[in-house]
A and B are shown apart, each in its own frame.
Chain A
Amino acid sequence: LAKTTQPISMDSYEGQEVNITCSHNNIATNDYITWYQQFPSQGPRFIIQGYKTKVTNEVASLFIPADRKSSTLSLPRVSLSDTAVYYCLVGEGNAGKSTFGDGTTLTVKP
C-alpha cells in the first residue's frame, strides 16, 4: 500500500477555503485516493474518493494532478464544525482494508 504524508496540523478561520495536500509518491496504477474525516470519539466518516483529475461532491472537492503523486482536499467556506482530523488513504478501492496515516488536525477558529 502506498504511504501517505500529510501536514500534522492546520489552522483556519470560519468562511475560508481550506486545502489539505497529501503526498503519495509510490501510488500504484490500481490505487484510489480516499479522504475521511474523524471527530473526537467518533468513527471515521467518508468525505470523497477519486482516481484522477477532479472530483466534487456536496461537501468537498478533490484535486489529483496527472502524475497522481499527490492530491488536495478542498473544503469550501469552513465552519467551526469542520474542526476534525482529516485522513488521506491510498489503496485498491473499498473492499480491502483501509490504511490510515497520521492525519491532519484542522482547527477552525471564529
Chain B
Amino acid sequence: EPEVTQTPSHQVTQMGQEVILRCVPISNHLYFYWYRQILGQKVEFLVSFYNNEISEKSEIFDDQFSVERPDGSNFTLKIRSTKLEDSAMYFCASSTGEDEQFFGPGTRLTVL
C-alpha cells in the first residue's frame, strides 16, 4: 500500500538555525499539506500546496516558513530561523483531492 514518507524521523537543532523537513507524498497525489502538533496538543494546519503554489496557509505559517516541491517527488518545509516554540511533530499529508488525506509518520523537531 502506498504511503507518505518523511525524513528525518527526529531533528534536533539549535535556536536560530535553519531546518528543512522532507516528505515524499504518494506518487499520484496532487495536493500536499503540512501540519504540526505540539506535544499534548491538537493537530494544527500549516499550509496546503497545489499546482506548484500555496493554496492556503494558517496564521502559524509566517515568513519564517516556506514550502517547496523541488522535484517530482519531494515536498519540503523550511523553517529559516527556528525558535523554541517550533518544537513539535510535523506531519506531511497528501491527497488526490477526491479521497482522504494520507498522513506521514511525522518528524519530531526539537529546538534547543
Contacts and interface: CB of A to CB of B under 8 A. Distances in A.
Interface of B: 4, 31, 33, 35, 42-45, 48, 50, 56, 58, 89, 91, 93, 95-106, 108
Interface residues of A, number: 21
B91 A43 contact: yes
Contact of A97 (B42, B45, B96, B99): B45
Majority secondary structure, A binding face: loop
Contacts of B58: 97
B9 to A, nearest CB: 10
Given A41-B89, A44-B91, A100-B43, A95 B106 contact: no
Contacts of A94: 31, 95-101
A54 to B, nearest CB: 18
A94 B98 CA distance: 6
B68 to A, nearest CB: 19
